[in-house]
Amino acid sequence: MNKINYSEIKAGKIILKRDSANDNEITNRVKEIISNVIKGGDETLRKYTLSYDGIEIKDLKVSEDEINEALPQVSRQLKDAIKIAAGNISKFHKNQIRSEEKVETMDGVVCWRKSVPINIVGLYIPGGTAPLFSTLLMLGIPAKLAGCKKIIICTPPGADGKIHPAILYTANFLGLKEIYKVGGAQAVAAMAYGTETIPKAYKIFGPGNRYVTIAKQLVSLENTAIDMPAGPSELAIIADNSANPEFVASDLLSQAEHGVDSQVLLICNDESFIDNVNKCIDCQLEQLPRKEIAIKSLERSYFVFVKDMTEAFDLSNEYAPEHLIVSIKDVYNYLDRIENAGSVFIGNYSPESAGDYASGTNHTLPTNGNAKAYSGVSIDSFVKNITFQDISASGIKNIGNTIEIMAENEELFAHKNAVTLRLKEIN
């Protein structure tokens, strides 16, 4: 990791900039992929799977036999862990379901709002170097709780042409059967526009690499909604010398191992603590199976020395991290300073991996500074809110003149007339 002093303005600007190298090139390639999927449908998906993954897929949809074959391959220990995690995630997300009361804004004018589930949603579940069955819990559970009628899953097959057993077990555990063996930008295109086999979704969810992220952004410009821009994973840690350097090192590495384009920051006001963390990273790194991935991520990551906690939180808010760990003395005195973050982990015993798997909060979060304007996935992500109004004759008499005056001053006389005719009929 690179060590810099935040007081150097130039260095501060450098760390706030995520790597966007070759994005134009990727965007052009993704546009081509989307266009080809629209034209060629299932056959194009098979060609891309063969070209990119070296796998020949006959049936894109996972069969019941494939699901049944996968179930016994998952250990009892993992099944129990999935059950506990699912319980916590369900409990947290159920608490977000709310009903709204009718409001009489003035005599005879009643308004209310109703949450209605999005009928068809598509879930992108990363496979590749890490089969993220946990993401299926994070997306599938709120989708089901919200009442979405059709839930489509796209996930890339492994080298054997099959979906990882843990993903199939999790889908089956949640009662989700529409699973398709396709990944990458082509999967996003398939869910956005539909193919002979894969239905068109109204909204697409899920994290992915740059190709997936750009594909989601491109399809959102037309007729498909997306959860948020969610690209390479990232973590910032604000720590002082009350933190445990081994814990901090393990948290930094837990995000660094996600992918070579992940980024982590340690923001600290104690240089000797930074040095201790660096030593712990070197020791722990040697034990990691994904060591080479983590090393590449660490090359584009930073230790940032700040003079005080005010500077630390200013930096964090400007960076707007996907995940933020705060491990400092009197931590609750500082939480109100947090303005921009996807999900926050407090104290020495709240590892970021708790949120990734089992604490209950959602791990599908905004990245690349988008936490300044976006929230993580929740029940709200899977519903749309429809407003209603019921205006009685007395109500239109009470509000009518106000509407007429406003419409006339906007020179929209048909708007005014729609009220005037009603008032004449009443009188």
Domain residue spans of the chain? 2-17+232-360, 23-107+116-229, 392-426
pLDDT at residue number 275: 97
pLDDT confidence of residue 210: 86
Among all residues, which ones are annotated catalytic?
322-323
3-state secondary structure (DSSP) of residue 104 = strand
From residue 324, give the alpha-carbon distance in Å to each of 267, 272, 366, 367, 386.
11, 22, 12, 12, 34
Buried b (16+ CB within 10 A) or exposed e, 135-150: bbbbbbbbbbbbebee
| Ramachandran quadrant class, 200 (left: phi over 0; alpha: psi -120 to 50; beta: rest) | beta
pLDDT at 16: 76
What gap in Å lies between CA 407 and CA 112, rounded to an integer?
23
Checking if the pLDDT of 21 tops 60, the result is: no
Residue 339's Cβ-side half-sphere holds a number of Cα atoms within 13 Å equal to 12
Q: 56-70, 125-139, 362-376, 385-399: lowest mean pLDDT where? A: 125-139
Distance CA(184)–CA(156), nearest Å, equals 7
Model confidence over 61-118: pLDDT tens digits? Answer: 999 999 999 999 999 999 999 999 999 999 999 999 988 899 999 999 999 999 999 9
Distance between CA atoms of 295 and 114, rounded to whole angstroms?
Answer: 49
pLDDT for res 310: 94
Report residue 51 as tokens: 């070209």
For 132, the 3-state DSSP assignment is: coil
Instruction: Tokens for 36, please give them.
Output: 């080809």
Domain 23-107+116-229 annotated CATH 3.30.70.1900: no
Separation CA 47–CA 158 (nearest Å) = 16
At 417, list the tokens. 């007339």
Q: Does 3.40.50.1980 match the CATH number of domain 2-17+232-360? A: yes
Asked whether residue 7 carries a pLDDT value surpassing 90, the answer given is no
Q: What whole-number distance in Å separates Cα of residue 24 and Cα of residue 213? A: 13
Task: Answer yes or no: is pLDDT of 427 > 60.
Answer: yes
In the predicted model, what is the mean pLDDT of the chain? 94
* The pLDDT value given to residue 128: 65
Q: How far is Cα 213 from Cα 128, in angstroms, rounded to an integer? A: 15
Rounded mean pLDDT of 248-257?
96
pLDDT at 22: 61
**Confidence band, pLDDT 50/70/90 cuts, at residue 258:** confident
Task: Report the pLDDT value the prediction gives residue 8, as an integer from 0 to 100.
Answer: 75
What is the model's pLDDT at position 52?
87
Can you give the C-alpha Rg of the chain in angstroms? 25
pLDDT band at 371 (very low <50, low <70, confident <90, very high): very high
Which of these, 318, 276, 325, lies nearest to 6 by C-alpha position? 318
Which residue, 354, 308, 347, is CA-closest to 325? 347
Do 23-107+116-229 and 392-426 come out as alike in CATH topology? no
pTM of the model: 0.92
| 3-state secondary structure (DSSP) of residue 266 | strand
pLDDT of residue 60: 96
Is the pLDDT assigned to residue 307 strictly greater than 60? yes
Please give the structure tokens belonging to residue 250.
Answer: 């393990």
Q: How confident is the model at residue 230 (pLDDT cuts 50, 70, 90)?
A: confident
CATH annotation of 392-426: 1.20.5.1300
On the question of pLDDT at 11 being above 90, the answer is: no
Residue 19 has pLDDT above 70, yes or no: no
